[in-house]
Amino acid sequence: MTGELCRVLIVDDELLIRQGIKHYMQWEKEGFTIVGEASNGREALSLIDDVHPHIVMTDIVMPVMDGEELTKMIRTAHPDIQVIVLSSFGEFDYVRSTFQQGVTDYILKPKLEGELLLKALQNAADKIPSFQLVKKGQSEEASAASYLKKWMDGFGDDMPEEKVKRLFPHAAFFVMSVRMNQKEEKRRYVKEDIEKQLKQSLPDADCYPLSFQGEYASFFINMDVTQQQPLLQLAQKIARASTELSVSISEPFFEARNVKDVFDQEKEYLKQYTFYFPDQFFFYREMLPVIQSDAPPFDMAVCAEKIKRGQWDEAFAEIMLHVDHLSQNYLYDIQEFKRFLSNVVFNVTLLAEAATEKGAKFSKDKYAYFAAIDRADRADEAVGQLTGFLEEVQKTRQPVDQTDPGIKKIMDYIDQHYSDPLTLTDVANHFHFNPSYLSTYFGHHNSEGFSGYLTKIRIEKAVELLQQRHISISAISGEVGYADHSYFCKVFKKIKGMSPSSYRKQFFL
């Protein structure tokens, strides 16, 4: 294990102490790199399996799990890790106890300074089996990884441009973000496999792991921009390999120092993508649909007035049309999207309570809808909760006259276009409705529902045509909107109890 930087994990419940330790020396110049921070022993243990430190520097007195217990756990599970204890003057008994557990060294906090810290680290590094500290300039890869870490931590702006170009020789940079829906214990293996694939499949690029937190892993790729296509193909291959993975690739950027901004943006984009496109697993901005103009602001007061006047269907259609606009903008803030849906539930609940005898039940039910919308991992799941709520509200209303002008227009349209390959979505688009709401609206006014009504109209027209001898049954099926002759015969028999040919024979007996 030679030619690499010595990885150090800092454990202290005081943020100022952790920040101070970072600035005591030029870590990578001396052959060390800080791979993580923790505020107590329990956090440190969870990080150790992810960052694999060579040395753990830990405070003694901390909440949740103190340094003494942490040292004991490290000695048991990770005997090769060296432990340096940070202590105050009054903690000698604790320090003595940790030495019994096998700590490498200890430093008094009041005397902590760069030279003393470096000496303790070097002594600890010397005790690591088969390990040799990297010397300055000995490992470009280790130095590059170290500067990436600095940039991710918000430092490193003073790095000379010529060194940046030497460490990152290619013109373009990309960030690959991966969301792993596997169980926690499998994620590290998935992350390592992706890193291996990147290095094997992109031999002319320089690839570095960037971040690994919870279900998200990110990678930094430095390559010639003309080699972008192999990267996209590899990312698609990784995404297709498992439905438990979602992968996004950033657009190319040309300043390595901007990696933190791109990382933050890409991680947020991936959350947006997976919410609005839950059945898609690879994302690259240029391959996504063009976002249409922002939906106009929704005026809930105007909508409420329509409901008060009894124009429930029109009001609900406007709500769902606005929801449809919002759900097509995959960069629309997820929490804002959910807030709008919950706001609709809240306001419609108040109006339903005032307008219908059964409306009072929604005052209690609304909290269940709020919770379900808030928990939703997908846009369609959240919209489904709103649609279900509006359907429940519709059921509390008094029966509406079938001659409602809105439903009459839809029925007239079906009567005129039944011979076309008509679908619910086609009709919804024509009348500017959300398809799911049109289904609810139509079903409220017609017990057969959309599909049942369309089928009834088509079969009635087929009966009329069967009474004309000169038209073949195959031609009739096409005339009434069925491209598949055998399917038409099955539907006809189901409705009329006999096949079209039997019906025609019976008619001409």
Q: Give residue 44's pLDDT.
A: 94
Q: Which residues of the chain fall short of a pLDDT of 70?
A: 1-4, 89-102, 132, 134-142, 156-158, 293, 295, 355-363, 397-404, 447, 507-509
Q: Give residue 3's pLDDT.
A: 52
Q: Compute the C-alpha angle 216/221/226, nearest 5°.
A: 135
In the chain, the amino acid numbered 200 is: Q
- Give which of 99, 90, 30 is closest to 68, Cα–Cα: 99
Give the pTM: 0.54
Domain at 140-287: CATH architecture:
2-Layer Sandwich (3.30)
Q: Give residue 495's pLDDT.
A: 85
CATH class, range 6-126: alpha beta
Q: Give residue 247's pLDDT.
A: 96
The CATH superfamily assigned to 405-507 is: Homeodomain-like (1.10.10.60)
In the numeric block, the tokens 């809240």 are attached to 346
Between CA 382 and CA 375 the distance in angstroms is 8
HEC profile for 84-102? EEEECHHHHHHHHHHHHHC
| Parallel/antiparallel/unpaired status of strands 172-180 and 245-249 | antiparallel
| Parallel/antiparallel/unpaired status of strands 282-284 and 216-223 | unpaired
Between CA 405 and CA 322 the distance in angstroms is 22
Beta bridge mates, 56: 9, 83
Alpha carbon distance, N-terminus to C-terminus of the chain: 95
User: Domain spans of the chain?
Assistant: 6-126, 140-287, 300-395, 405-507
Q: Give residue 2's pLDDT.
A: 44
The pLDDT tens digits of the residues spanning 471-498 come to: 899 999 999 999 888 889 988 888 888 8
Number of CB atoms found within 10 A of residue 494's CB? 10
Beta bridge mates, 172: 223
Asked whether 21 and 56 are in contact (CB, 8 A), the reply is no
In the chain, the amino acid numbered 201 is: S
Which residues 6+ apart lie within 8 Å of 447 measured at CB?
Answer: none
Q: Give residue 412's pLDDT.
A: 87
Q: Which region holds residue 137: left if phi is over 0, alpha if psi is between -120 and 50, else beta?
A: left
**Per the structure block, which two tokens stand in for 348?**
């419609």
The pLDDT tens digits of the residues spanning 252-298 come to: 999 999 999 999 999 999 999 999 998 899 999 888 888 876 767 88
